[in-house]
Structure 1
Amino acid sequence: MSNYWLGLDCGGSWLKAGLYDGAGREVAVQRLPLHALSPQPGWVERDMTELWQQCASVISKLLAHTGVSGSQIRGLGISAQGKGLFLLDKSDRPLGKAILSSDRRAMEIVQRWQKEAVPQKLYPLTRQTLWTGHPVSLLRWVKENEPQRYAQIGSVMMTHDYLRWCLTGVKSCEESNISESNLYNMATGQYDPRLTEWLGISEIDSALPPVVGSAEICGEITAQAAAITGLAVGTPVVGGLFDVVSTALCAGIEDESTLNAVMGTWAVTSGIAHGLRDHEAHPYVYGRYVNDGQYIVHEASPTSSGNLEWFTAQWGDLSFDEINQAVASLPKAGSDLFFLPFLYGSNAGLEMTCGFYGMQALHTRAHLLQAIYEGVVFSHMTHLNRMRERFTDVCALRVTGGPAHSDVWMQMLADVSGLRIELPQVEETGCFGAALAARVGTGVYRNFREAQRDLRHPVRTLLPDMAAHALYQRKYRQYQDLITALQGYHARIKEHAL
């Protein structure tokens, strides 16, 4: 009887379950769309009970589709969105709706903390910036706005911690994710009560579950979970991965010569560092990586291809092929139309919002689509340029995510950045990375380094057109000038509001 490993990936829009055989080959992937709730402007929530039901359903459907028995699954891992807030009450029941990382309700709290220089106080210990989607920001919001709910908090978790608890009945917080929560001291590898004290949420210290490693077996499938998923009672479940870490792992990022760009709802640029540095040019975000002594360093904002998905949903159900053909039909950097990809947040200031600038009657839908492609790439450049100050030997950018399937978009990224673009031929990096963690945890590999060496994927390469690079550099400078002008506009509005 063959053995298999199962990887779950819970993202912003989709829940996926992937099945992998003993050689690490993908057998099948089952997908379910996820729906976020937005009861008020800037709020992004998810029903926790419904999410668990969908998780059980996607596993059950995967097993039914493949004909694989639950007893053949040797281990399971979960990769998921980072940040956000999943709460259980003191009786281990979901406490209200989960709040997702793209939620902006804590904006005023973060702005207050910025005025009080709280981020500067936290950073030497946490190596994190402080923004609205962090668990600590959302916890403070709950404390100030829903004190009765705050008083009932029994456990603080994030997405894959919650789903792992549903599967195993064991509470824990996985290290690659919790290390980027502002609850965790990067130097000690533990929670630090000074952090919650400075943030005014020290009441939740006792509600923080133990920290577990990505490949650490931290529970087994319960009889209740087995009954609705089809998995076997006692199947090992490992800690899993923050999805950004899973992607870097699957992309084969091992040293400081290559960066990984993830293009999805979030624009994420990551690199792997061999230790922490002090007094850097920017407050880079660090997190625990899967290999001892290594850290993932990244820059991120929700400014990527989610903007295109919104546009196509509102203005016509275009196929990806039709969009690419439309963009490719126009000269590179040929228009003065700009798009600011800030529908879900910004990397240019908390007040910045989304929009087109420079639109004229001569512009067609193709021009709008080209501007979206360019705006997303320009926004990625904000992060890439900062990261290249930290990773000075970079010669290639390895890209994953939906836009990586578009040669038009990837060539634009090569032309704008001037870097060699490498496209790993691996699908569903969240599922595969989670299954890889399960394979390490169940002893197939001694560690993740060994797993990476054994499971390399082909890489396709695109080289920059340096003539186009010069054209795009001019337009990118204009984009930066537009951002600067709008920052001045928002600053004046704030002055007049005082």
Structure 2
Amino acid sequence: MNYYLGIDCGGTFIKAALFDENGNIRACERENVAVISEQSGYAERDMPELWQACAEVIRRTVKSSEIPPHLIKSVGISAQGKGAFLLDKDKRPLGRAILSSDQRSLPIVKRWQAEGLEQQIYPISRQSLWTGHPVSILRWLKENDVPRYDQIRHLLMSHDYLRFCLTGELYCEESNISESNLYNMATGQYEPQLAHLLGIEEIMDKLPPIVKANQIAGFVTEQAAQACGLTAGTPVVGGVFDVTAMTLCLADNQPHKLNVVLGTWSIVTGISNEIDDKQALPFAHGRYVEAGKFLIQEASPTSAGNLEWFVKQWKLDYQQINQMVAALPPAQSAVIFLPFLYGTNAKLGMTAGFYGMQAHHSQAHLLQAVYEGVLFSLMIHLERMCQRFPQVQTLRVTGGPAKSAVWLQMLADLTGKTLEIPEVEEIGCLGAALMAAEGVNGDSLALKQHQALRVIQPNPANFDAYQHKYRQYRKLTKLLEQMA
């Protein structure tokens, strides 16, 4: 039996899971990784601590599996996209990593938008302008921290950095770097014109070579092997953007299905063989792991992270919350929640809040509004994606809220669509392991052929109530956009 290690580095945890060649999980360990926010809008991560946490979860996973390390044939890494992990001339971390949830560059992005730069950039990069892109972070550093900017020698993203720690080799992986606003979606190469338009042209020679997700990008070094318990010389593939990793695990990408990821982010994805220039909306595109295909997505950091904040404040557990929400009539409360604690898919600068509270409302009503608000924000992305994929009847759903039957039923009733929930453990790790298997075997079909699906049907009796409240949510956000 051969084994494949998948690592998943997200916004809150880093996890490692070991899969056998039939896709069965043999061991999994996780470690919390802190997001450092010492100023408003900042979201950073200590890079050496991240590597230490990564090495520790690998070591514990290998140990608890009781699988001899030499039977682990390859390693893949899935991680959150965007952000900036910077190294100096000695390949040492250049300060803390700046994560994709960082918003310090908001004034710069607003200025670029006012200057009409988005209209010049999108036809090349197929990306809108956003605070979490590497280009926005780099321009902020150029304007506000010149000594640090001048010391940059290598620009990486999260899984690029962890791969470097494992192998000592520097690459940028394609599914992630293709969404950086430094990449020409048509040519599949870095694009100097983009860097010039954004005023960071000197960064072009700081970009490592591009590696594909399933391409072997190096081998575990002796030093890394000692730290994490792997065998030196184990192949490590390019890895994959976590959204792509999750999409990979959803088994089939048929025209009547869209993929929904509910985690820190609300994400709706579909796969296309082409870039459709006739579309009026500026959909974000990324290179998919299959040749000639594109990952098309709508996304914002407006999902379950909002609930996590309230869980910490009120010290509730998820079972309690589900019971409280389930006891209330669907969509009858006047309370509306804007799920913008970590960002927005409305106007830049908008923040979270409740509206419509009265004295008779309880904690349960607020929690119900959080559940609804997260789905209303998702609904905006879903409506847009249905313009690109008009045949959609089914949503395949993954992420934390997929563990809540109450939340899932709410989503089915709001959209009127059938939900399919893959019964996959550690889906980000599995996506990384799929790429690891492809890197050494040429395919990964065996790893995902045994997936089971749970199906949830919408209750038509609740559709009108949810749609009415969704319209109220949209009216409220439109009004508040005028103040942002």
Which band: TM-score by shorter chain? Answer: over 0.9
Residue in 2 that maps onto 1:427? 425
How far apart, CA to CA, are the structure 2 residues paired with 1:162 and 1:262? 24
Asked if the contact 1:250–1:429 (Cα under 8 Å) also holds between the matched residues in 2, the reply is: yes
Asked if the contact 1:338–1:479 (Cα under 8 Å) also holds between the matched residues in 2, the reply is: yes
Asked if the contact 1:398–1:422 (Cα under 8 Å) also holds between the matched residues in 2, the reply is: yes
**Per-residue deviation, residues 307-349 of structure 1 (Å, max 9, x unmatched):** 00001101x2211111100000000011111000000000001
How far apart, CA to CA, are the structure 2 residues paired with 1:164 and 1:486? 43
Q: Which amino acid aligns with 1:136?
A: V
How far apart, CA to CA, are the structure 1 residues paired with 2:220 and 2:435? 16
Residue in 1 that maps onto 2:133? 134
Q: Which amino acid aligns with 2:243?
A: V
How far apart, CA to CA, are the structure 2 residues paired with 1:269 and 1:14? 22
How far off its partner does 1:447 sit? 3.8
Q: Which amino acid aligns with 1:484?
A: K
Alignment of 1:59-458 (within 5 A): 59-314=58-313, 316-443=314-441, 446-447=442-443, 450=445, 455-458=449-452
How far apart, CA to CA, are the structure 1 residues paired with 2:216 and 2:85? 21
How far apart, CA to CA, are the structure 2 residues paired with 1:263 and 1:86? 25
How far off its partner does 1:68 sit? 2.1
How far apart, CA to CA, are the structure 2 residues paired with 1:190 and 1:70? 36
Q: Secondary structure at the match of 1:373?
A: helix
Q: Secondary structure at the match of 1:442?
A: helix
**Per-residue deviation, residues 251-289 of structure 1 (Å, max 9, x unmatched):** 124232211111011000101111111031210001011
Q: Which amino acid aligns with 2:184?
A: N
Asked if the contact 2:23–2:446 (Cα under 8 Å) also holds between the matched residues in 1, the reply is: no
How far off its partner does 1:67 sit? 1.9
Asked if the contact 1:440–1:451 (Cα under 8 Å) also holds between the matched residues in 2, the reply is: no
Kindly tell me the number of residue pairs found equivalent between the two proteins: 484
Q: Which consecutive residues of structure 2, in runs of 5 or more, have no partner in the other structure?
A: none
Q: Which amino acid aligns with 1:462?
A: I
How far apart, CA to CA, are the structure 2 residues paired with 1:302 and 1:62? 30
Let me know the Cα RMSD of the aligned residues.
1.0
Asked if the contact 1:281–1:389 (Cα under 8 Å) also holds between the matched residues in 2, the reply is: no
**Per-residue deviation, residues 443-474 of structure 1 (Å, max 9, x unmatched):** 1xx346x457x624111111111120011111
Q: Secondary structure at the match of 2:153?
A: strand
Q: Which amino acid aligns with 2:375?
A: V
Q: Which amino acid aligns with 2:148?
A: R
Asked if the contact 1:256–1:273 (Cα under 8 Å) also holds between the matched residues in 2, the reply is: no
How far off its partner does 1:401 sit? 0.1
Q: Which amino acid aligns with 2:352?
A: C
How far apart, CA to CA, are the structure 2 residues paired with 1:99 and 1:440? 31
How far apart, CA to CA, are the structure 2 residues paired with 1:451 and 1:256? 24
Q: Secondary structure at the match of 1:489?
A: coil
Q: Secondary structure at the match of 2:334?
A: coil
Asked if the contact 1:436–1:451 (Cα under 8 Å) also holds between the matched residues in 2, the reply is: no
Q: TM-score, length-normalised on structure 2?
A: 0.99
Name the stretch that deviates more: 202-211 or 248-257: 248-257
Q: Which consecutive residues of structure 1, in runs of 5 or more, have no partner in the other structure?
A: 491-498
How far off its partner does 1:66 sit? 1.7
How far off its partner does 1:69 sit? 2.5
Q: Secondary structure at the match of 1:434?
A: helix
Residue in 2 that maps onto 1:468? 462
How far off its partner does 1:485 sit? 1.1
Q: Which amino acid aligns with 2:215?
A: E
- 1:483 partnered with 2:465: no
How far apart, CA to CA, are the structure 2 residues paired with 1:69 and 1:48? 29
How far off its partner does 1:62 sit? 1.0
Residue in 2 that maps onto 1:493? none
Asked if the contact 2:437–2:443 (Cα under 8 Å) also holds between the matched residues in 1, the reply is: no
How far apart, CA to CA, are the structure 2 residues paired with 1:17 and 1:477? 42
How far off its partner does 1:163 sit? 0.3
**Per-residue deviation, residues 401-450 of structure 1 (Å, max 9, x unmatched):** 0000111000000011111111111121110010110111111xx346x4
How far off its partner does 1:243 sit? 0.4
How far apart, CA to CA, are the structure 2 residues paired with 1:372 and 1:434? 31
Residue in 2 that maps onto 1:496? none
Percent identity (aligned): 55
How far apart, CA to CA, are the structure 2 residues paired with 1:292 and 1:447? 13
How far apart, CA to CA, are the structure 1 residues paired with 2:230 and 2:478? 54
Q: Which amino acid aligns with 2:424?
A: V
Q: Which amino acid aligns with 1:474?
A: H
Name the stretch that deviates more: 458-467 or 214-223: 458-467
How far apart, CA to CA, are the structure 1 residues paired with 2:54 and 2:182? 27
Alignment of 1:12-31 (within 5 A): 12-31=11-30
Asked if the contact 1:253–1:259 (Cα under 8 Å) also holds between the matched residues in 2, the reply is: no
